[in-house]
Structure 1
Amino acid sequence: MSDPLRLLVITQSPGDARMIREVLREAGLPSEVVWRSRSRDALDALQGEPFDLLLLDPDPEVVAQAGERAPGTPIVLLVSRDDMETAVRALGRGADDHLVREDITPELLVCTVRHALTLKRMKTALERMGGMWREIVGNLHEGVMVADREGTTLFASARMAEILGYAAEEMLKAPFLSFVDPEDAPRAEALLGTAGRAEAEFRLRRFDGERVGVRLIVFPVTCGTAVGVMDIRERPAEEEIRRRNVQLSIINQVVRTATSSADMDELLTGVLGKTVNLLGFGGGSVYLIDSGRSRAELAAEIGLPEGFSFRQRIADMNAPPYDTVLGQGVPHFVEDYPRRYPQDAGAGIQAFASIPITAEGRVIGAVNLVSREMHTFSPAERELLTSIGQEIGSAVERMRLRKRLEKAHEEANFYLDVMTHDINNANTTAIGYAALLSEALSGPEKDLARRISAAVRQSAEIIGNVSTIRRIAEETPAPGPVSLDDVIGHVSCFFADADIRYAPQGLWVAADDLLSAVFINLLGNAVKFGGPQIVIQVTAREEDGTVTVSVEDTGPGIPDAEKPLVFEKFRKSGARSGKGIGLYIVHTLVERYGGRVWVEDRVPGRPREGAAFRFTLPACPPVTGRTG
């Protein structure tokens, strides 16, 4: 059984700590919850004790300090519905996620904890990889540059700047060819345009005008072209430099193969094949240690002889050579395989290497390589193979993290779908009963029934907005012809008690079925904030391939200072109720369709006489023979 999670809860409310303990216990997640009411005590605890996760009130300064004290520990905010602005600021200071106290359930808490832990591990792994590459480039004897597809310099190493006499930052955004002697510029330009790896000698021009003879080695990368530059004035070191460039090229190809793989099988088969082919081995295999760390299973194989002892699995990790390879993370090289392993005499293997696959400081498997010819493992090749084992380990961990994230995402979506379905059913029933009560009652009781109905409709609006946001995030827009008359007419039925005026125009726009959410939020806001006497006028006109829609109301209007901010997420207007996402959805959808949205005074210069929301949409020819 894995160790329980240690959670540090930093909140002035002892009830929050008790609630977190009870919810985790109910969820069946083994955990230890430590509560500190004072941030100073909590920050001191972070220095002396390890924690897997921090849950704390949304204090931006405490979040920043906690991130400095425990940079590898995920931070989840405990927020209230009425304090989302503070939560947003705290998220900007380094928090990883948030939980709304009023909405916490065992399933939501477990999903949030797992999601925060997974994201933090992935971020740490990516930062470690970035640091590794910076270290590799910084220690290379040759200069390294990266240019985009237009030939603009994106990166220049310190050695590159030294060769040319510039500061590294001075070289950024400059054309690569500006560093080439003009006489050699045409050849250098042609070299940059090659599809594969290529090299040639050129003359570069230093900052002081001096010409420098160099050998350029170029190869394509995702963003453009990587350029290795060897100063051929240092001829005694040329072979060493060339060797390093070859190593870097091989590692780069292995990494590219790993990052382009869709699943674990493709990843392992791809990097094994690339390693075998690039280094000239006869075959190879990859083994991954099982979850119980009792044995290593064969995960990929290319060209292994039938008589090879370890062809199927590594059953005993304590037997040589795997006691050192898998147990200690030490590579094992054999150049006289028939003598060392006479049991494999019929396999035809002459040389053998077993390289530990490492990730985050631990061994997770091994890659075996065999040669049917005499083979000597030079120090450079041993170093290269060790680096490849580390790269494979990093790629495996990234793939595992991605799969765990995908599974967590699927689980979260499942719970959200179930919750949305059940709440919608409950809301529909409640609205029906509230309508019956409203018809049967009179006086204060009738007003109370209407308030109940309004509250349930607000719940339904929240669920609808959540579903809309999910679809916006997950679906690729596919705009098609949509009738404005049909959408406005259909949405107006949701507000039967409101005075909504619209004269059908027969206009069609390029949108999809989410367009109704734009009108639901605009009309709903007008009704919500304008009261029963409000009049809403909807108009639409087409000009130069664009349809401009206006939704004007006679409500309280929007002050000038708030107009530029109303479409921000979680932004509320003054003391108004709501979650601050309705107009954000309007803005997101309109821009998704290629339009824009803004707000004005219904009567120019008189904000208290009502608001006018206007937005544009691309016009679209109507569908023949269709009215909706």
Structure 2
Amino acid sequence: MQTAGFRYPDPVKCIGTLQNFFTPEERISSIILEQGSDREDLEASPECSIPADASGRDPEYFFFEEIFESSPECILILEGETITRANAASGEFFGIAPDKLAGKTPADLSPAMQPDGESSCVRMERLLLKRIRGPVKFGWIHIAAGGIERKTEVILTPVRVGRHSRIMANIRDITPLIDARQKVQSQYRLLQMTNTMIMAMHTEEKIEDALAVVADELNTLFENSLITIYITSPDSEEAHLAVSRGELPGHRESQGHNRLPTTQEPYATVYQRGDPIFCEIHNSRVSGIIGKNEIYNPDIPTAVGIIPLISDGTIHGSINIFTQGREGFDADEQSLLVNIGREIGGAIRSGMMRDELKATNDLAHLFLDILVHDVNNAHMIIGGSLELLKDAEGEEKESCVNLIRSTLDTAAEIHQNVMMIRSIREGGEKSQRPVPLDAVIQRAIPPGINVHFEPSGAVVYADELLSGIFYNLFSNAVKYGCADAGIWISIRDDMDEVTVTIEDNGPGISDTDKEQLFSRNLRIGSKKKGLGIGLYICMTLARRYGGSIRVTDRVAGCQEEGSAFILTLRSARDATLK
């Protein structure tokens, strides 16, 4: 074939010429190629006969010499395990002059161990033995220029020049290809997890359950990570820990702090302005991130991501990710994490709207129940007693008067509870402040009751409605207790929370009633007085203050020995009283 006066070399002759420059003084007598060329056929071919001084006079020799030197892939010629010649690309790749590569072995240019844990020397010896059966292709880790480990694809092709065996090693750097493939796989995996998280946010009934799914998925995606999710409200100066997953190697005790300040930097960037934070804890000078000193390791970088949960400009919380062994999150990961934050924020907003609607309906039904049952019942009792009072005399008259007075007291209690429920609905977390607990308890103790109480000096976050919890608890103890009812109050002040235990020696509460005790309409016993919303108010207020309330037996396993109500509230002992 002729093109513009240039004649392409004959393929068989090219094979002989290509091998001629391996050892210019020798003539090719045979070659074993990947295609399995027959040795006798090559020897019989006249094109394989190259003049002995071809290195000095044959132009095709220089043509293939140029191909060898200008190849973008690394080409090494080995005799046994020793490099005898290397092209220019090899020198650039390894950062060693080609003539300096001669005399080295492939293992000298590799780490001591390959990724599978096998010694580079042992593995190379094993692979070199395989080349007898033809070309061998395999993955390998080489130490390139600058001491950087690179992933390569190596092809060992056996050749025979005269009576000498040679090996041609073609080395191709596939690090970018593998990194790109891993990145695509990572992004696909991240997208799958994002879909799982979004589905959970829109299908789980409780926001806590949905956030747990999100934390689990993120913990699976980012290894050696601590994942924490915080929830806040627009009028709050703190974000509260909702979910924690994972741990950092060497920091098993670190599970995230219970609260984060939303108005202090760097958290104000997230909670006030709605911007994510992506950084790296690489030295102790990183400021503002709570807990950084607990996880700081000068030898290992730790990537940090704080992503707002945002919807329509409202911040509902944040995802906090601490990942050890990473120098940061790449642009694609950052973009997807920000989108996840927006999806979760939108789901939280939708959930809040559903909860607000349900709460409004529940409140309307509650007021209707109070109006229809409790208020109407009080009116009927008063009306009936007045009719009897017209003709009553002596003890009967006094009994009617006492019943009317008792019913009026009940009506006053109804009014007080309704007003408290209304105040709970209208109040917000921003109205809470540090409140001395002892004074609140002392004001709520009913007169004439045997109460054992030792002041503690505890301070909690609450507001003026806090007394409603103790008023209802003390009222119930008196209402359902015996003639010599006693109340014991103990307080334990821990680092982050205050626990108040209120015990009585009343008749106790059955296990069945314990399960639904804080429902709004439960009355303990059919013959006892009660509005059925006192403990519901206690539970509502406890949650409002970021705490909880539960009931158990005063003496474990003996419900007839009385009850114990355990109330937890957020400690504010480090805050300044206002």
TM-score (norm. length: structure 1): 0.31
Q: Which has the higher helix share?
A: 1
